Amino acid sequence: MVDFSQVHNIDDFKRLARGYLPRPIFDWIEGGAEDEISLHNNRTAFDRVRFKPKTLVDVNLRDQTTELFGKPMASPFAIAPMGNLSLFWPEAETVIAQAAAAAGIPFALSTASAVSLETVAEKAGGRLWFQLYVFKDKKVNDSLVDRAAAAGYEALMVTTDTHMFPKRERDRRNGIGLNLKKTPANIAAVMARPRWLWNVVLSRPMPKLANLEREVSGSTTYEALANYFLSQRYNGFDLDDLKRLRDRWKGKLMVKGILNVEDALRAVEIGCDAVILSNHGGRNLEGSAAPFEVLPEVVDGVGGRIPVLLDSGFRRGTDICKALAIGAKAVMLGRPAAYAVSGAGKDGVGHMLATMKDEVDRVQGYLGCTKIDQLNRDLLLFDRQRPGANATMI
């Protein structure tokens, strides 16, 4: 059992995850591309914006609820899609989705989930979004989209920034991709974490890419599905392909991986319902801007026509409130959920979400805002500003 009285922030959850996971598995979620400059910049970008709080305001009653797509959210954050979560905790995707539903926030399920999208919908409920990695075979894409619609997923989230394979050097050194090579070092690392070994490996069948099992002909072993996932990703995805998905999917369509205002405007023009600014947590393109850095120009460029969300680097309520004050509708939490579920399961995720909610509430009160939509750029001080501008790019 985890003593949550000693778990006060996301770094505490990360410490617990490090002690529970074998080092290569921890590195897989923790690491970034190449020199990990983008990874670290995702965090330091928040330091370049500070608060100018308002006092002499009655903040005795505070409300952080918001709405997205006409439906309420208990807090202005959601769970980002992450693949292979069941390498951290048994059926982690379902567990995290259940915790999100209990907290009144949306959960996004990855195509690379080890639990099928139908199983998550059946066992977790709540507001569910399905994240689509696009494959070369349009029939597979169409089938995944249709299955998500039939299972009641509210939104389809199309990821656009993973058409190339990244160079994640931690993973190369550790011999981990979608599976872990059986090297002496990795065997030793696994044996050093007996609780993880029992939970994930010995007490149940090894997790597979469950969403692909019914889509791929031939062998459905983990290795076969992983090879399909890696070899059949479609790097020709363009605006016409996005339009085709827009026509097929009748629910809300979100485009993830945007870092450019022109791309955001194209998404608006073809009828997408939201854009998600993301650099994949610093795991893909080294040297990419942090989503938080480009948030002001995208918000201003879109001009309120569709909601703008973002992920990558959020660890504190202060980070969330800064993004909301600039104009984001909500943020998405990825690694914090992975840390929290590792070794602590559903209770860990619930505690993490409660911690983030408490931090948002505290910042909101300090800033003199009784409602979350009162956060605005007047409450922020940017390191660099254009002459005469109220707030601009970081």
What percent of the chain has pLDDT above 90? 84
How many other CB atoms sit within 10 Å of the CB of residue 90? 16
Residue 229 CB contacts under 8 Å (≥ 6 apart), including other chains? 112, 133, 178, 209, 212
pLDDT reported for residue 178: 64
If DSSP codes are grouped into helix, strand and coil, which group holds residue 22? coil
Contacts 24+ apart (CB under 8 A), 201-210: 203/90, 204/90, 207/84, 207/86, 207/87, 207/114, 207/115, 208/114, 209/112, 209/113, 209/114, 209/178, 210/113, 210/114, 210/115, 210/116, 210/119
Residue with tokens 């860990």: 348
pLDDT reported for residue 385: 47
What mean pLDDT do residues 328-342 have? Answer: 97
What percent of the chain has pLDDT above 70? 97
pLDDT reported for residue 389: 41
Residue 30 pairs with which residues in a beta bridge?
A: none
What mean pLDDT do residues 275-288 have? Answer: 96
What mean pLDDT do residues 344-360 have? Answer: 97
Q: Catalytic residue among 8, 40, 280, 351, which?
A: 280
What mean pLDDT do residues 254-283 have? Answer: 97
Instruction: Label the pairing between strands 274-277 and 308-310.
Output: parallel
- CATH fold of 4-382: TIM Barrel (3.20.20)
pLDDT reported for residue 227: 87
The reply to whether 8 belongs to the active site is no
Residue 253 pairs with which residues in a beta bridge?
A: 156
User: Mind listing the pLDDT tens digit for each residue in 46-74?
Assistant: 999 999 999 999 999 999 999 999 999 99
pLDDT reported for residue 216: 87
Residue 394 CB contacts under 8 Å (≥ 6 apart), including other chains? 45, 48, 49, 292, 293, 296, 382, 383, 384
What mean pLDDT do residues 88-104 have? Answer: 97
What mean pLDDT do residues 200-218 have? Answer: 88
Stated pTM of the model: 0.94
User: Mind listing the pLDDT tens digit for each residue in 118-169?
Assistant: 999 999 999 999 999 999 999 999 999 999 999 999 999 999 998 888 899 8
